[in-house]
Chain A
Amino acid sequence: MTLARNLRGVGGALPQILTLAVVLAANWAVFPDFFDLRLQDGRLFGSLVDVLNRGAPVAILSIGMTLVIATRGVDLSVGAVMAIAGAVAATLAADGQPIFLVIGAALAAGLACGLWNGFLVAVLDIQPIIATLILMVTGRGIAQLVTEGQIVTFTDPALAAVAASSAFGLPMPVVIAVALALVAALLVRATALGLMIEAIGVNRLASAYAGVDARGVLMAAYATSGVAAAVAGLVVTADIRGADANNAGLWLELDAILAVVIGGTSLFGGRFSILLSLVGALVIQALNTGILLSGYPPEMNLIVKAVVITVILVLQSPAVRRLATFLKRSDAP
């Protein structure tokens, strides 16, 4: 029974895996060296590794975003939270503070942002789009307050290592993304937490009557999203060795939502997969890289993304599902 369920799980992942394969194959077609990897100083290099590395921030964001969307919400503030966490980290690092304090403060800032969003949604019962819009609007202002409007740069090698070092032959951001995703996936699937999140997504009131602590679970989902955004902010800050309150994480909330949607998580709640969201993030980054490699202007990116979302919307829509069920039934003898 468990085996059958797992197999069904793999079957459910087929569209995402196929999409990724098609995009990678297209990249390979325009750029024959795409899959070439070489090992140097115990670290892998190549276009594929580059795709993984550049896709890491969105992948990390998509972990929290998956949980939030699964509760039928959305978190528009993740880009602004990235900017806040990055501003906190860069300012403290520039002050010469020890690394544990730098990272701890950035994560705490992310957690505080997430709890604020969760409070608005779960306790004050404000629509998620609007609740998180407040922080999206103010967040960059807050980040600018932290950096006093400057672009803060730092030289602390310990913080830079968050992006520049490597483990298991892979760049650190990739390792962080995979580790976080595995921990989060285990946490929701090995416990009843995932089930509760799905229940809230389908019908919050009914799940509350059924004894699910809807408030607590919602708070946890938004808190996770805030912390994930802080981690992504740390990675980006470490990568450029500085914090830019205006541009750090700009529009990444949209990429994260797109990654989650490509990963097959339902916008109507009730069905989600963290690992497939990671595949979604990879698809987006592979598309970006592919467009770059193919010599088309990078401006094509947005149009391609729009077309991809539209196709997925059509496939996900209840209207098309009903049509598919209808056709299947009429096919049966």
Chain B
Amino acid sequence: MNARHLPLLATIGVFLVAYALATLQFPNMASTRVVANLLTDNAFVGVAAVGATFVILSGGIDLSVGAVIAFTGVFLAVTIRAGLDPIAAFVLVLAITTAFGAVMGAMIHQLETPPFIVTLAGMFFARGACFLLTTDSVPIDHPTFAAIASWSWKIPSGGRLTLVGVVMLVTFVIGAVVAHRTRFGTAVYALGGNRQSAELMGVPVGRTTVAIYALSGFLSGLAGIVFALYTSAGYSLSATGVELDTIAAVVIGGTLLTGGVGTVAGTFVGVLIQGLIQTYVIFDGTLSSWWTKIVIGALLFAFILMQRGLLAAAARRRENARAGARVAAA
């Protein structure tokens, strides 16, 4: 077994054990209804987390995610109220958020500035843009929109797989293919592994950086559409802190924060673990909602520690192997 896969296996292990324990306590947790709801309720975090995975794999960070989700919702609500067709509004808003991400990527590359501060400015800007559109919570009331929002497929024993849940699953599958089977994906890993070597090997660093943040912007926009379908409203203050949820999901999913190592599949399990904690807190009823945050924080810490330990062990092994080779040569 490759030590690189250990974080992913650990993530899956944590999820399975946690789910089994939760089921022992509440047998109802094993129903397809709970599983389907887990997908629906976390769809927008999941879609955004795919983008965050690419960003973090490249060694960057995107703090604008939550603000872009809120902007997307407000933009949809305002334009649909003004009479725009929902489908046209979807296309328009995706174009805007993709361009927005691309601009941030270009700034990060051209100005040689930490992604952290550029996307922080982006976060302020996107939230500000929300407020400029409207400060009210605007309900989205349109027949086409309502039809899309209520599409769902019945699965055995009472569960309902909603369209937004399917969108998340499809996004994860496409994301995994792009990350592990395309030239762009390889470039992202190379950038996160070592930027300078990547450049020397001929990876188009600038173009890749712009594409990464454009992808994150696009997926944040898609997450915003999913969120709007889920809540049927747009509100400037919604989705605060979602960027932190996505980062936590990526880390719990086994992706290394320094970049270069990780999987999109791991992020999916990371999102499920967060959703499971939330569902458990709701099932229990006596636990307060803030326990969710504390448990997620503790998990985050545990996974970071595990990754550090693995890295240190790998470095020691390499060192030992080299020493062994020296002894053999002498």
B290 near A145 (CB under 8 angstroms)?
A: yes
In the complex, whether B298 has a CB less than 8 A from a CB of chain A is: yes
Q: State how many angstroms separate the Cβ of A54 from the closest Cβ of chain B.
A: 19
Residues of B within 8 A of A254 (CB): 120, 123-124
Which residues of A102-140 are within 8 A (CB) of B? Answer: 124-127, 129-130, 133-138, 140
Which residues of A146-202 are within 8 A (CB) of B? Answer: 149
Residues of B within 8 A of A142 (CB): 294
Chain A interface residue count, CB cutoff 8 Å, equals 43
B111 near A309 (CB under 8 angstroms)?
A: no
A313 near B113 (CB under 8 angstroms)?
A: yes
B124 near A309 (CB under 8 angstroms)?
A: yes
B120 near A318 (CB under 8 angstroms)?
A: no
A314 to B292, CA, bound (A): 39
B288 near A317 (CB under 8 angstroms)?
A: no
In the complex, whether A43 has a CB less than 8 A from a CB of chain B is: no
In the complex, whether B296 has a CB less than 8 A from a CB of chain A is: yes
A143 to B225, CA, bound (A): 33
A130 near B257 (CB under 8 angstroms)?
A: yes
A262 to B232, CA, bound (A): 39
Which residues of B280-306 are within 8 A (CB) of A? Answer: 288, 290-294, 296-298, 300-301, 304-305
Residues of B contacting A: mostly: helix
A261 near B117 (CB under 8 angstroms)?
A: yes
B128 near A301 (CB under 8 angstroms)?
A: yes
Contact of A313 among B111, B123, B298 (CB under 8 A): B111
- By CB atoms of chain B within 10 A, which of A135, A138, A302, A316 has the most? A302
B251 near A130 (CB under 8 angstroms)?
A: yes
A125 to B307, CA, bound (A): 12
Binds A, one of B44-52, B129-137, B145-153, B187-195: B129-137
B116 near A129 (CB under 8 angstroms)?
A: yes
Which residues of A289-307 are within 8 A (CB) of B? Answer: 297, 299-307
In the complex, whether B138 has a CB less than 8 A from a CB of chain A is: no
B111 near A320 (CB under 8 angstroms)?
A: yes
Residues of A within 8 A of B113 (CB): 267, 313, 316-317
Residues of A within 8 A of B294 (CB): 138, 141-142, 145
A303 near B124 (CB under 8 angstroms)?
A: yes
A137 to B303, CA, bound (A): 15
A313 near B125 (CB under 8 angstroms)?
A: no
Residues of B within 8 A of A257 (CB): 117, 120
A127 near B120 (CB under 8 angstroms)?
A: no
Q: State how many angstroms separate the Cβ of A271 from the closest Cβ of chain B.
A: 15
- By CB atoms of chain B within 10 A, which of A137, A313, A319 has the most? A137
Residues of A within 8 A of B272 (CB): none
B111 near A133 (CB under 8 angstroms)?
A: no
> Closest chain A residue to B115 by CB distance?
A129
Contact of B300 among A134, A145, A302 (CB under 8 A): A134
A19 to B248, CA, bound (A): 38
In the complex, whether B107 has a CB less than 8 A from a CB of chain A is: yes
B124 near A141 (CB under 8 angstroms)?
A: no
A149 to B112, CA, bound (A): 43
A182 to B169, CA, bound (A): 55
Q: State how many angstroms separate the Cβ of A24 from the closest Cβ of chain B.
A: 22
Residues of B within 8 A of A245 (CB): 290
A261 to B124, CA, bound (A): 15
B121 near A267 (CB under 8 angstroms)?
A: no
A137 near B248 (CB under 8 angstroms)?
A: yes
A144 near B288 (CB under 8 angstroms)?
A: yes
Q: State how many angstroms separate the Cβ of B303 from the closest Cβ of chain A.
A: 10
Residues of B within 8 A of A138 (CB): 293-294, 296-298
A303 to B297, CA, bound (A): 31
Query: Which A residues are closer than 8 A to B by beta carbons?
Result: 74, 124-127, 129-130, 133-138, 140-142, 144-145, 149, 245, 254, 257, 261, 267, 297, 299-307, 309-310, 313-314, 316-320
4 new A-B pairs (CB below 8 Å) besides A124-B304, A306-B121, A319-B111? A133-B244, A138-B298, A141-B294, A317-B112
A and B contact pairs by CB, cutoff 8 A, 6 listed = A129-B61, A138-B294, A302-B124, A304-B128, A313-B107, A313-B118
Closest 5 pairs between A and B when the two form their complex, measured CB to CB: A299-B131, A138-B297, A302-B128, A303-B128, A317-B111
